[in-house]
Amino acid sequence: MSFSIERYKEESKKVDTTGVAWDEITSSRLSNGDLFCLHYMMDIENHVPLYLSHLLVTRACMDPILTAFLACWNYEELWHGENLGRFLNLYGIHFDAQERIANVRANLGFSNSASILATMTGSWMLKDFSAVYLSIGAINELTTLTGYGALIRKSGHPVLKDLLSRIVKDERRHFAFYFNSAREWLTDNRKAQRVDRWMLDRVWKPVGQGVKKQEEVDALALYLFDDAEGEADLASIDEKIGKLPGLAGIKLLSKSLQEARGRARQNPAWASRLIDNEEWAVKPPRKSPIGGMTTRRLSSDQVMGLAPDGDPARAR
């Protein structure tokens, strides 16, 4: 698996959706589990700029190759979120994507700022911070593309399959960058390997945890991976990550599935109730209204200069 940053910079672009049969989305049905996963995935794709804000204050970003990658990566991830939102809207689920993103962010509250400070401090204290960050990047990208593959399989929705397969191609390139960069950092560096292993065993969390609650993370994991094929998918992630120097035998994803199953055994309604009750809407925060933090004091139609019925001539 090779990766050239020069080639990536030249070729990076928004995911090409030419020819996606958007008008056939409603011809096939999606289950509640599919819809739950799609909302989760869209929210996490849309969270990338805030994740980036954590990275840009770390020592890892002294590396111009990494910042060049992040500049392109952030743009590509933006279009993943945009297209998942478009898909859901066309399926018939009505929400204002920008309003939803603002609500997800506002609900993080002070914990987001505290987390930026902790990441920044940790990175400057830890010489091999980049090894940890790059390994986590590789795990996250590989988990994401594996999750999309599982959702394609579960849903059997032809248009979703087409869209997600295009997104997966981007995720593969992201994984290649992180994996190769982590391997470069870890090769012949015993100290970095020890730090990486120690940190992954203690601080790693599945993609989306923190933005999403534990029960939501479990609902996604159990819906997508709680069968033989899903288990094999997760074992294959562990196996690939275990090829990084110092990480042989690591079992993060398989362990995480076991823990989710354990919580569901203790409380049979755990996780599945979120899917059964269609709990994918995001409520605005009770304190600190969105308008206080963003320019979104007007409805999106007013911001765009449209009258409520969509007629620009009748705006204002």
Query: Interface with Fe ion by CB under 5 A: which range of 41-49, 108-116, 120-128, 182-190?
Result: 41-49
Please pick, from the candidates 34, 77, 128, 196, the single residue that binds Fe ion as defined by CB under 5 A.
Answer: 77
Distance CA 165, CA 148 (A): 8
Residue with Cβ nearer Fe ion (45 or 215): 45
C-alpha separations of 9 from 71, 73, 144, 156, 305 in Å: 9, 10, 22, 34, 36
Distance CA 200, CA 190 (A): 15
3-state secondary structure of 62: helix
Instruction: Answer yes or no: are the C-beta atoms of 3 and 177 closer than 8 Å.
Output: yes
Q: How far is the CB of 110 from Fe ion (least distance, A)?
A: 27
Q: State yes or no: residue 86 binds Fe ion (CB under 5 A).
A: no
Instruction: Classify residue 19 by its DSSP letter.
Output: T
Q: State yes or no: residue 80 binds Fe ion (CB under 5 A).
A: yes
Q: How far is the CB of 316 from Fe ion (least distance, A)?
A: 38
- Entry field: residues in the chain: 316
Residue with Cβ nearer Fe ion (101 or 264): 101
Number of residues that bind Fe ion (CB under 5 A): 6
Residue 70's nearest CA partner among 168, 126, 137 is 137
Please pick, from the candidates 105, 157, 173, 174, the single residue that binds Fe ion as defined by CB under 5 A.
Answer: 174
Please pick, from the candidates 171, 196, 216, 218, the single residue that binds Fe ion as defined by CB under 5 A.
Answer: 171
Query: Interface with Fe ion by CB under 5 A: which range of 43-51, 201-209, 215-223, 292-300?
Result: 43-51
C-alpha separations of 111 from 281, 289, 291 in Å: 21, 17, 19
Query: Interface with Fe ion by CB under 5 A: which range of 73-81, 155-163, 187-195, 237-245?
Result: 73-81
- Residue ranges binding Fe ion (CB under 5 A): 45, 77, 80, 141, 171, 174
